[in-house]
């Protein structure tokens, strides 16, 4: 069922909200600057509420069903986080208020930094980056600044595994590096021989993800980091897969020098249809001076009579600011609420359960779905979704058929190194029944692929919409509501 | 997959038709098949520009990918195929004919030696 | 704890996997450093949690406790109840990027409507699904201009009256790229036309703010013409509420329009998450970083929307992508969509005028206090500069003792402006609050 757009629901003269009349005398408006037309819709509040309520119901979400989107960590988003983020003392404060009036906010940020540092083993954490990709950019700029501070201007290359998320090479290019791609070995690890061959003093560093994008803990990680360090390079860690490591292993102990976290993945803040995220970055001591400005520190330790005092500082050799103000404070409040609610045992339980759930599903489907690297997985696993006796059936078709069973499909076609990849990440908040139902659907679909492939090719048939014509969308390029010439008149 | 015998090829799936000191360049049948439905062709060079061998001269966009086309022979751009602006699907329909991308006045004819013939290119494809 | 498993559940699952206990699942990890003891407190119940966070939040002082005249990039505007009502719906809140359009038409249609509203507001032909904030939107505009000319044009003309945080972000973003940025060391009082002499054949982009950081509104026609004459792109950063009243940058032939969308129904939240507005002329749509929703039909002929032109993005182009942006600000863009839908054509105009009248009243009253001058050289919207008889820091310190936050001390960013205060007034500032500010200033500085 197609919903009209808000523009199509508009009727001239309708109003959604009133403001009070001015309580001050009016000043003459600047005639030469006044705009002629403002082609916005005119709808009453009832229409707005009905419209957005109706279209919301066309969405699958974590709150409506299982969402095993690999590498996105679609865990349950606790509702108490929404309450704390909305407390007026958090939501109504201006970012440029005098520091004495917002000690609660700075204290919360400082404590959140400490928690992330303790969880990961890093010495300092910045909360400024707005998302994972933004955190990556921050970290790669820190690496660049570090080498320049040592006069090493010849380090112009960044090593990136072929299994890496696309943001990794894109970020390196934005920072001015040339990207050198490293193939993985047959067990899905960094190939140490290839790495040794590439390492010299023109390499600034390597961007790694561990557990890697195949959901596997890289068996060579400690040695790989050591090799990079031996050649004067630094190691960047993409922390997207932290959900496997809480209380299990600290990334800094692998040899990672700088790493971003995704609060909207590991730390339960809602995905919101594509954001907002938050990508804090942790660094080892040697890199603290390069952190983005401003940075929150505790200036004075309090005592029984005085509270601790917090303020902003400009790190000595800062790379600069990554955005306006201080970062996504509203998202940090949600993540901090989550961390406090879990505590040390709760965090360990998250990773243990996440890894348990992923291995459980892998075990249930592995006889039918090809798992390219036969090992215990971590919090997610990748399967190659094609069979010789089901020609023409691809990962895309299996995904669309899963929709008919009420599930959101897993991640498709990533990582690029696995043919017809489906990446499955159940997360720790799913019940055993939920996992069983999903595995059963996967097995049934495998059967259908061989005996009745048309069901897959025509899927989904039970969703509000069928498959969309993406070619038409790219060719026609209609990116906004087309309005008739007499619109609003 | 069609691989006309009279053309030269590169490992990046470009074809070259040589007419005296002019090279006409496009992408192969194999390339258009890999990209599937092409929705946009952007020729990044202008007539009169001089480009080196290996420089990006075009970007071909489909729903799944956006592939760079690298100039197989350096020289001066003497013509670009404007009809691809409105009809990008020509690349899928007629990759060796009406969907030529660029005509180059070659500056160094010895670069032709680095190109492969139809047989070598066809053998390559099977290993893709 | 949000994990549901009982011991029975775990035992059954471990059996299927074929290992004895949970620790065995991690046998592939190095023993050294495995299962570290985290020095963190134990978890707490929801009741205790709320108590703790309420305490921390109560330490902060809000506009309920302090009268605020702070702006400088974040503004205290009224947020209608309907906005949060929709934002809290689980279908919007807990969905992800709409990769599977068949089950994501809620998100996709909302993005399409957002794009339509921002395009209509800015007068531009196409808008993307958002950037992180105004600062990163501006930085992406610079990045886009650089890639438009494939690095052959290496200069950016940047007005000194663009928000200092935005300028700082541009420098951070472009530090690894060979690019010259000129214009920032000019006198911040300069009008945009005085930037014209800096534009040459090497200029990729001319970038200004409108109204500028000091609140001033200028006619940008000549500047836009000068940029285009040298084949540079022209980018204008806007305040979306002001566009309820003043001409949009399309009138000045802007190629790119960026904006900070926080005023559109988004709480100030100590600086984030906010909303980067980004719109361009249609010819630049393929150069625009960020997500785009496009209209199409499904297999049953129903109209719907999909993410489109994503082959430009990082997950396809990888090192050839011009930007690494992945997440945008989905839920925040949704809030602004609801806000703009509620206000609509007449509401946004009414709101803009209300801000304008209150700010002009405040400016007039403040200039009656001896030693304080408000001397706008140009029309302004809801922010203006006050010249003070003492350094702005001292004025603010005094005002804070009267539970007033006076405005932004421009000396923080502009060494020559230590006596200037940037004062913002919105529809939430009452006449009595303005009168109170003026009374306090008169009381303290009547000599």
> Considering C270, C305, C338, which residue would you say is the last residue of a domain?
C338
User: Could you tell me if A262 and A385 lie in one domain?
Assistant: no
Helices (H), C18-104: 46-59, 81-87, 90-93
Lowest-pLDDT choice from A125-134, A215-224, A350-359, C431-440: A215-224
Range of the domain at C310: 81-338
**Cis? peptide before B128, omega within 30° of 0:** no
Please check the confidence at residue C135 and state whether its pLDDT lies above 60.
yes
Summarize pLDDT for A145-170 with one digit per residue, the tens. Answer: 999 999 999 999 999 998 888 788 88
The DSSP secondary-structure symbol of A366 reads: T
User: Could you tell me if C291 and C350 lie in one domain?
Assistant: no
What is the pTM for the complete model shown? 0.94
Instruction: Provide the CATH number for the domain around residue C348.
Output: 3.90.1150.10
Which chains are adjacent to chain B, needing at least 3 Cβ pairs under 8 Å? Answer: A, C
Q: Select the more confidently predicted residue: C377 or C399.
A: C399
pLDDT at A243: 97
The gap between the terminal CA atoms of chain C, to the nearest Å, is: 63
> Considering C282, C315, C338, which residue would you say is the last residue of a domain?
C338
Residues of chain C neighbouring B42 (CB-CB closer than 8 A): 286
Is C48 part of any domain? no
Which of C150, C311, C312 is nearest residue B62 as measured by Cβ atoms? C311
User: Could you tell me if C96 and C160 lie in one domain?
Assistant: yes
Number of domains in chain A: 2
User: Could you tell me if A328 and A259 lie in one domain?
Assistant: yes
Contact (CB<8Å) B40/C286: yes
Angle at C174 between CA C169 and CA C175, to 5 degrees: 100
User: Considering only residues 187 to 206 of chain A, which have any Cβ-Cβ distance to chain C shorter than 8 Å?
Assistant: none
User: Could you tell me if C188 and C270 lie in one domain?
Assistant: yes
User: Could you tell me if A154 and A245 lie in one domain?
Assistant: yes
List the beta bridge partners of residue C176.
none
Range of the domain at A199: 80-340
Contact (CB<8Å) B61/A474: yes
Q: Give the tokens for residue C394.
A: 């001292």
Lowest-pLDDT choice from A264-278, A306-320, B60-74: B60-74
Work out the widest C-alpha separation in chain B, in whole angstroms. Answer: 37
> Considering A340, A372, A390, which residue would you say is the last residue of a domain?
A340
Mean pLDDT, chain A, whole residue set: 94
User: Could you tell me if C89 and C180 lie in one domain?
Assistant: yes
User: Considering only residues 413 to 472 of chain A, which have any Cβ-Cβ distance to chain C shorter than 8 Å?
Assistant: 414, 428-432, 458, 460, 463-470, 472
Helix (H/G/I), strand (E/B), else coil: A375: coil
User: Could you tell me if C319 and C369 lie in one domain?
Assistant: no
Residues of chain B neighbouring C311 (CB-CB closer than 8 A): 61-66
Please check the confidence at residue A298 and state whether its pLDDT lies above 70.
yes
**A475, closest residue in chain B (CA to CA):** B39
Provide the ipTM. 0.96
pLDDT at A305: 86
| Residue A478 contacts B, CB cutoff 8 Å | no
User: Could you tell me if C111 and C243 lie in one domain?
Assistant: yes
State the architecture of B8-108 in CATH terms: Beta Barrel (2.40)
Q: Select the more confidently predicted residue: C181 or A189.
A: C181
Distance from CA of A465 to the nearest CA of C (A): 5
Residues of chain C neighbouring B64 (CB-CB closer than 8 A): 311, 316
Is C13 part of any domain? no
**A399, closest residue in chain C (CA to CA):** C100
Q: How confident is the model at residue A304 (pLDDT cuts 50, 70, 90)?
A: confident
Summarize pLDDT for A43-62 with one digit per residue, the tens. Answer: 999 999 999 999 999 999 99
Rounded-to-integer distance, Cα C327 and Cα C329, Å: 7
| Residue C282 contacts B, CB cutoff 8 Å | no
pLDDT at A413: 78
User: Could you tell me if A385 and A269 lie in one domain?
Assistant: no
Q: How confident is the model at residue C408 (pLDDT cuts 50, 70, 90)?
A: very high
Is C389 part of any domain? yes
Distance from CA of A223 to the nearest CA of B (A): 33
User: Could you tell me if C302 and C164 lie in one domain?
Assistant: yes
Rounded-to-integer distance, Cα C381 and Cα C243, Å: 10
Is C153 part of any domain? yes
Contact (CB<8Å) B65/C312: no
Distance from CA of B109 to the nearest CA of A (A): 31
Q: How confident is the model at residue B68 (pLDDT cuts 50, 70, 90)?
A: confident
Q: How confident is the model at residue B124 (pLDDT cuts 50, 70, 90)?
A: confident
Is A110 part of any domain? yes
Which of C273, C305, C319 is nearest residue A331 as measured by Cβ atoms? C273
Residues of chain A neighbouring B40 (CB-CB closer than 8 A): 474
User: Could you tell me if C235 and C107 lie in one domain?
Assistant: yes
Which chains are adjacent to chain A, needing at least 3 Cβ pairs under 8 Å? Answer: B, C
Q: What DSSP string runs through C199-268?
A: --TTEEEEEEEES-TTSB----HHHHHHHHHTT-EEEEEE-TTGGGTBPPGGGGT-SEEEEE-TTTT---
What torsion, rounded to 10 degrees, do the Cα atoms A70, A76, A80, A81 define?
0
Instruction: Provide the CATH number for the domain around residue A426.
Output: 3.90.1150.10
pLDDT at A166: 78
Q: Spell out a b/e string for C16-30, using b for 16 or more CB atoms within 10 Å of the CB, else e.
A: ebebeebeebbeebe
**B42, closest residue in chain C (CA to CA):** C286
Nearest to A139 by CA among A295, A324, A292: A292
Q: Pick the residue of B37, B40, B66 with the most C CBs within 10 A to test the interface with C by mutation.
A: B66
Q: Give the tokens for residue A113.
A: 């930094």
Rounded-to-integer distance, Cα A46 and Cα C178, Å: 53
Q: How many CA atoms lie within 13 A of A361 on its CB side?
A: 34
Count the neighbouring beta carbons within 10 Å of the beta carbon of residue A406.
16
pLDDT at C309: 86
Distance from CA of C123 to the nearest CA of A (A): 9
List the beta bridge partners of residue C186.
none
Cβ-Cβ contacts under 8 Å for C108 (sequence gap 6 or more)? C98, C101, C293, C304, C305, C306, C307
CA gyration radius, chain A: 25
pLDDT at A484: 76
Which helix (H) or strand (E) covers residue B22, if one does?
strand B22-27
Distance from CA of C29 to the nearest CA of A (A): 7
Please check the confidence at residue B127 and state whether its pLDDT lies above 60.
no
Nearest to A268 by CA among C103, C336, C273, C93: C93
Place of tokens 């806000």: C339
Is A407 part of any domain? yes
User: Per-residue pLDDT averaged across C274-286, rounded?
Assistant: 95
Contact (CB<8Å) C316/B68: no
**A343, closest residue in chain C (CA to CA):** C43
**A397, closest residue in chain C (CA to CA):** C100
> Considering C338, C363, C383, which residue would you say is the last residue of a domain?
C338
Summarize pLDDT for C291-349 with one digit per residue, the tens. Answer: 899 999 999 999 999 999 877 665 656 666 667 666 679 999 999 999 999 999 999 99
User: Could you tell me if C203 and C213 lie in one domain?
Assistant: yes
pLDDT at A337: 98
Rounded-to-integer distance, Cα A344 and Cα A223, Å: 29
User: Could you tell me if C371 and C283 lie in one domain?
Assistant: no
Q: How confident is the model at residue A213 (pLDDT cuts 50, 70, 90)?
A: confident
Distance from CA of B1 to the nearest CA of C (A): 25
User: Could you tell me if A183 and A314 lie in one domain?
Assistant: yes
Helices (H), C367-430: 392-401
User: Could you tell me if C368 and C320 lie in one domain?
Assistant: no
Summarize pLDDT for A360-416 with one digit per residue, the tens. Answer: 999 999 999 999 877 899 999 999 988 999 999 999 999 999 999 999 999 987 777
pLDDT at B128: 45
pLDDT at B35: 85
Mean pLDDT, chain C, whole residue set: 94
The CA–CA distances, whole Å, from A457 to A292, A394, A463, A466 equal 49, 9, 14, 11
pLDDT at C324: 67
Instruction: Provide the CATH number for the domain around residue C91.
Output: 3.40.640.10
User: Per-residue pLDDT averaged across C55-82, rounded?
Assistant: 97
User: Could you tell me if C245 and C185 lie in one domain?
Assistant: yes
| Residue C150 contacts B, CB cutoff 8 Å | yes
Q: Give the tokens for residue A397.
A: 């078709």
Is A71 part of any domain? no
What torsion, rounded to 10 degrees, do the Cα atoms A279, A280, A285, A286 define?
40
In chain C, the percentage of residues whose pLDDT exceeds 90 is 89
User: Could you tell me if A363 and A435 lie in one domain?
Assistant: yes
Is A61 part of any domain? no
Contact (CB<8Å) C317/B40: no
User: Could you tell me if A151 and A284 lie in one domain?
Assistant: yes
Distance from CA of B67 to the nearest CA of C (A): 8
User: Could you tell me if A230 and A111 lie in one domain?
Assistant: yes
Is A56 part of any domain? no
Please check the confidence at residue C93 and state whether its pLDDT lies above 50.
yes
Number of domains in chain C: 2
Contact (CB<8Å) A475/B39: yes
**B61, closest residue in chain C (CA to CA):** C311
Q: Pick the residue of C58, C173, C327, C394 with the most A CBs within 10 A to test the interface with A by mutation.
A: C327
User: Per-residue pLDDT averaged across C238-249, rounded?
Assistant: 98
Q: Give the tokens for residue C276.
A: 């980067």
| Residue B37 contacts C, CB cutoff 8 Å | no
């Amino acid at each position: 069922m197609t919903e009209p757009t808000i523009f199509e629901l508009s009727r001239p003269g309708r109003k959604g909200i009133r403001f009070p009349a001015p309580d001050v005398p009016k000043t003459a408006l600047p005639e030469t600057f006044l705009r002629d037309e403002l082609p916005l819709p005119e709808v009453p509040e009832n229409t707005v509420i009905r419209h957005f309520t109706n279209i919301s119901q066309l969405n699958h979400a974590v709150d409506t069903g299982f969402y095993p989107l690999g590498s996105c960590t679609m865990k349950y988003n606790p509702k108490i986080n929404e309450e704390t983020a909305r407390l007026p003392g958090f939501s109504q404060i201006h970012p440029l208020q005098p520091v004495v009036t917002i000690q609660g906010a700075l204290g919360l940020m400082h404590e959140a930094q400490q928690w992330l540092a303790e969880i990961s083993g890093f010495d300092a954490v910045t909360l400024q980056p707005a998302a994972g990709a933004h955190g990556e950019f921050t970290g790669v700029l820190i690496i660049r600044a570090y080498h320049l501070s040592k006069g090493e201007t010849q380090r112009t290359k960044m090593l990136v595994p072929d299994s890496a998320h696309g943001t990794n090479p894109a970020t390196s290019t934005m920072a001015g590096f040339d990207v050198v791609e490293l193939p993985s070995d047959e067990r899905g690890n960094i190939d140490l021989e290839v790495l040794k061959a590439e390492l010299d003093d023109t390499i600034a560093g390597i961007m790694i993800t561990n557990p890697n994008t195949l959901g596997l803990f890289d068996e060579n990680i400690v040695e790989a980091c050591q090799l990079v360090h031996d050649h004067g390079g630094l190691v960047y860690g993409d922390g997207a897969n932290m959900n496997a490591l809480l209380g299990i292993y600290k990334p800094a102990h692998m040899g990672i020098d700088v790493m971003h976290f995704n609060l909207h993945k590991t730390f339960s803040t809602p995905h919101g249809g594509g954001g907002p995220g938050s990508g804090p970055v942790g660094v080892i001591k040697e890199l603290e001076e390069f952190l983005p400005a401003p940075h929150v520190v505790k200036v004075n330790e309090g005592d029984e009579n005085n509270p601790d005092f917090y303020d902003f500082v400009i790190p000595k050799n800062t790379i600069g600011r990554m955005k306006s103000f201080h970062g996504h404070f509203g998202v940090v409040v949600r993540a901090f609420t989550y961390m406090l609610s879990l505590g040390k045992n709760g965090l360990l339980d998250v990773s243990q359960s996440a890894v348990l759930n992923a291995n459980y599903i892998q075990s249930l489907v592995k006889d039918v779905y090809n798992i390219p690297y036969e090992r215990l997985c971590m919090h997610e696993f990748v399967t190659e979704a094609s069979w010789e006796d089901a020609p023409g059936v691809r990962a895309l078709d299996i995904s669309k058929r899963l929709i008919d069973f009420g599930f959101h499909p897993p991640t498709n076609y990533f990582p690029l190194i696995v043919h017809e990849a489906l990446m499955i990440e159940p997360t720790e908040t799913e019940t055993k029944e939920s996992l069983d139902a999903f595995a059963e659907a996967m097995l049934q679909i495998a059967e259908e692929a061989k005996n009745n492939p048309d069901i897959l090719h025509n899927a989904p048939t039970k969703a509000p919409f069928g498959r969309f014509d993406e070619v038409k969308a790219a060719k026609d390029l209609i990116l906004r509501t087309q309005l008739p010439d007499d619109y609003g008149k | 997959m069609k691989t006309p015998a009279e053309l030269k090829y590169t490992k990046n799936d470009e074809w070259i038709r040589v007419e005296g000191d002019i090279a006409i360049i496009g992408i192969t049948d194999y390339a258009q098949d890999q990209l599937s439905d092409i929705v946009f062709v952007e020729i990044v060079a202008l007539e009169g520009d001089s480009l080196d061998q290996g420089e990006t001269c075009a970007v071909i966009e489909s729903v799944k990918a956006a592939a760079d086309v690298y100039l197989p022979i350096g020289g001066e751009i003497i013509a670009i195929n404007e009809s691809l602006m409105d009809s990008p699907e020509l690349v899928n329909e007629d990759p060796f004919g009406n969907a030529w991308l660029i005509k180059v006045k070659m500056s160094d004819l010895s670069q032709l030696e680095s190109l492969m013939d139809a047989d070598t290119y066809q053998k390559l494809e099977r290993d893709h | 704890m949000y994990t549901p498993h009982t011991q029975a559940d775990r035992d059954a699952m471990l059996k299927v996997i074929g290992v004895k206990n949970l620790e065995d699942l991690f046998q592939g990890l190095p023993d050294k450093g495995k299962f570290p003891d985290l020095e963190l407190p134990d978890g707490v119940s929801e009741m205790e949690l709320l108590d703790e966070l309420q305490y921390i939040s109560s330490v902060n002082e809000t506009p309920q406790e302090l009268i605020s005249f702070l702006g400088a990039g974040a503004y205290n505007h009224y947020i209608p109840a309907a906005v949060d009502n929709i934002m809290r719906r689980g279908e919007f809140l807990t969905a992800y990027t709409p990769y599977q359009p068949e089950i994501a038409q809620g998100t996709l249609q909302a993005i399409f409507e957002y794009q339509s509203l921002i395009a209509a507001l800015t007068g531009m032909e196409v808008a993307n699904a958002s950037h992180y904030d105004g600062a990163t939107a501006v930085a992406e505009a610079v990045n886009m201009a650089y890639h438009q000319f494939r690095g052959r044009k290496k200069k950016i003309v940047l007005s000194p009256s663009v928000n200092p945080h935005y300028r700082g972000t541009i420098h951070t973003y472009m530090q690894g790229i060979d690019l010259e940025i000129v214009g920032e060391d000019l006198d911040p009082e300069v009008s945009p036309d005085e930037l014209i002499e800096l534009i040459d054949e090497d200029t990729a982009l001319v970038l200004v703010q409108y109204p500028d950081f000091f609140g001033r509104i200028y006619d940008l026609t000549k500047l836009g013409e000068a940029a285009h004459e040298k084949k540079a792109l022209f980018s204008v950063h806007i305040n979306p509420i002001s566009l309820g009243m003043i001409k949009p940058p399309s009138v000045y032939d802007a190629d790119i329009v960026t904006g900070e969308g926080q005023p559109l129904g988004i709480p100030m939240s100590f600086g984030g998450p906010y909303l980067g507005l980004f719109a361009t002329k249609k010819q630049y749509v393929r150069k625009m970083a960020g997500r785009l929703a496009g209209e199409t039909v499904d297999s049953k002929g129903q109209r719907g929307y999909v993410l489109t032109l994503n082959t430009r993005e990082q997950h396809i182009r990888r090192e050839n992508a011009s930007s690494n942006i992945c997440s945008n600000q989905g839920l925040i863009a949704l809030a602004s969509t609801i806000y703009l839908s509620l206000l609509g054509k007449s509401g946004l105009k009414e709101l803009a005028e209300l801000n304008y009248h209150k700010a002009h009243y405040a400016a007039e009253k403040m200039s009656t206090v001896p030693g304080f001058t408000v001397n706008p050289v140009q029309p302004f919207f809801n922010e203006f500069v006050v010249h003070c008889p003492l350094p702005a820091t001292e004025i603010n310190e005094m005002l804070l003792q009267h539970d007033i936050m006076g405005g932004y001390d421009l000396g923080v960013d502009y060494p020559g402006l230590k006596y200037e205060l940037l004062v913002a007034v919105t529809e939430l500032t009452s006449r009595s609050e303005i009168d109170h500010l003026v009374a306090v200033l008169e009381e303290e500085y009547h000599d």
